[in-house]
């Protein structure tokens, strides 16, 4: 794994159902990144961790994603080990649900500050995702934050 800053990202056509982007890095490396959407998320001067295979495919290693290169080496988005689905869609759904519940509690208690609402929502997310393993809320059998 290498680290460098992005110098430029240019659209480079398509390959099958993927959009191609030519990525140039400040250390002189460059490669092709494949995306399923026509938008990329890289920005100039953004520091990234990456690898480049023998064919010149640039794989950006993103925090919180399963970056198992044995999946298929190039795209990291299949069911054999690319992106951990819970880290993406399911976690966003959990966060939305948690925020809704936090707002309902805040309204019922007369608490309206965004910081207090978001703090309550984070407790719900941690409980839903079992991130704190019940370490903070040991006063009930199910470790629910409410």
pLDDT tens by residue, 18-66: 999 999 999 999 999 999 888 888 889 999 999 999 999 999 987 755 5
> Are 92 and 73 in a shared domain?
no
Q: Among residues 48, 67, 84, which one ends one of the domains?
A: 84
pLDDT at 122 over 70: yes
Reduced to 3 states (helix: H, G, I; strand: E, B; else coil), residue 84 is coil
Mean of per-residue pLDDT scores for the chain: 75
How buried is 101 (Cβ within 10 angstroms: 0-12 exposed, 13-18 middle, 19+ buried)? middle
> Are 75 and 101 in a shared domain?
no
**Structural domain that includes position 22:** 2-84
- Among the residue ranges 12-16, 52-56, 128-132, the one predicted with the least confidence is 128-132
Total structural domains in the chain?
2
> Are 80 and 108 in a shared domain?
no
Highest mean pLDDT among 45-59, 68-82, 86-100, 120-134 belongs to 45-59
> Are 106 and 73 in a shared domain?
no
pLDDT at 69 over 70: no
> Are 44 and 93 in a shared domain?
no
> Are 61 and 40 in a shared domain?
yes
pLDDT at 111 over 80: no
Predicted local distance difference test score (pLDDT) of residue 134:
46
> Are 18 and 77 in a shared domain?
yes
Q: Among residues 42, 57, 84, which one ends one of the domains?
A: 84
> Are 71 and 94 in a shared domain?
no
Residues 6+ apart with CB under 8 A from 24: 6, 7, 8, 9, 30
């Amino acid at each position: 794994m290498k680290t460098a800053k992005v110098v430029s990202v240019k659209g480079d056509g398509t390959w099958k159902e993927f959009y191609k982007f030519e990525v140039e890095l400040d250390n002189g490396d460059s490669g092709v990144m494949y995306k399923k959407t026509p938008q990329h998320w890289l920005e100039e001067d953004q520091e990234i961790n990456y690898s480049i295979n023998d064919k010149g495919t640039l794989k950006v290693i993103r925090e919180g994603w399963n970056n198992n290169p044995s999946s298929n080496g190039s795209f990291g988005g299949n069911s054999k080990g690319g992106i951990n689905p819970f880290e993406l869609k399911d976690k966003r759904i959990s966060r939305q649900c948690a925020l809704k519940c936090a707002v309902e509690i805040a309204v019922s208690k007369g608490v309206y500050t965004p910081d207090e609402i978001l703090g309550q929502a984070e407790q719900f997310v941690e409980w839903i995702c079992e991130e704190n393993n019940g370490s903070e809320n040991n006063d009930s059998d199910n470790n629910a934050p409410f």
